[in-house]
Structure 1
Amino acid sequence: MISAIGHAAFDCYNFESTLDFYNRILGFEEMFRLHNEKDELWIVYLRVNDETYIELFPQQGEAPPKSGSYSHLCLQVNDIEITISQMVQHGVTIDVPIQTGKDGNRQAWIKDPEGNRIEFMQMMPDSLQMRAIERIKATKIAG
């Protein structure tokens, strides 16, 4: 049975600025680096928390056209006002300012140096997600 999402992995064509963004600006601590058989940097492993990580894969040349169905990475935050204020202080462009989504959570959007969309989400007590969690918990207790 699946217990969690372990990591998200990104190919990085602007590796240094992307590493700086995730490490210094978002605050994800670098855990370790892996090298390939030619001793070239292969992966940098960053810690979001004790159960979730980001892998950055340095790439050479130009980024290929986007393919696949990846949409965005959502980072859950405790206080979206503080988070967005910190992003602005670091010079990060806020693509979508703080708003309440249709699910009842507060959200705002940015992009990383690779152009990947990132959503910051503050879970609100009366959001659809929190109501569903309470419903599931009640069903398990009753069952």
Structure 2
Amino acid sequence: MLKAIHHVALICSDYERSRDFYSKTLGLRIVREVYRQGRQSWKCDLEVSPGVALELFSFPSPPPRPSRPEAQGLRHLAFAVDSVADAVRELSGRGVTCEPIRVDEYTGRRFTFFADPDDLPIELYEA
């Protein structure tokens, strides 16, 4: 029945800051960007990989997302990378602070976390 994840949608507090973070800092390609006047909302479609998108939304005065302690709902967003160490070095050069690299005790794969401009936890997982 389900084939794959098509997209993930995020609501941000500062549209331009988050758009720049996801497109310039993380390197996702902007596919489409529209302002929806009736909703006073921006929508930006970013390509993660062919057929997989991240939708970035802005809305007037969105409530903050409780992140710590962990709240019910979406826990984090994870991206597959070839090398966590290489990705951490690249992000560090772009001003992004990552947690220390850890090893998944069940898979033996390396991973780390960092936060987006709204403190959403983002994971890099070595695929």
Same fold (TM over 0.5): yes
Which among 87, 98, 122 is matched to residue 101 of structure 2? Answer: 98
Q: Is the 8 A contact 1:109 1:119 kept in 2?
A: yes
Whichever of the two has the greater Rg, that structure is 1
1:1-143 correspondence runs (5 A): 1-36=1-36, 38=38, 40-61=40-61, 63-66=63-66, 68-94=72-98, 96-102=99-105, 103-123=107-127
| CA positional deviation for 1:76 | 0.3
| 15-24 or 54-63, larger mean C-alpha shift | 54-63
Spell out structure 1 runs of 4+ moving beyond 4 A. none
Counterpart-to-counterpart distance in 2, 1:45 and 1:62: 19
Q: Is the 8 A contact 2:40 2:60 kept in 1?
A: no
Q: 1:97 to 1:35 in 2, by over 3 A?
A: same
Q: What do you get for the CA RMSD once the two structures are aligned?
A: 1.8
TM-score (norm 2): 0.86
* Greater strand share, structure number: 2
% same residue: 27
Q: 1:55 to 1:65 in 2, by over 3 A?
A: closer
Counterpart-to-counterpart distance in 1, 2:27 and 2:85: 17
Give the unaligned 5+ runs of structure 2: none
| CA positional deviation for 1:62 | 5.2
Higher relative contact order (CA 8 A, sep 6+): 2
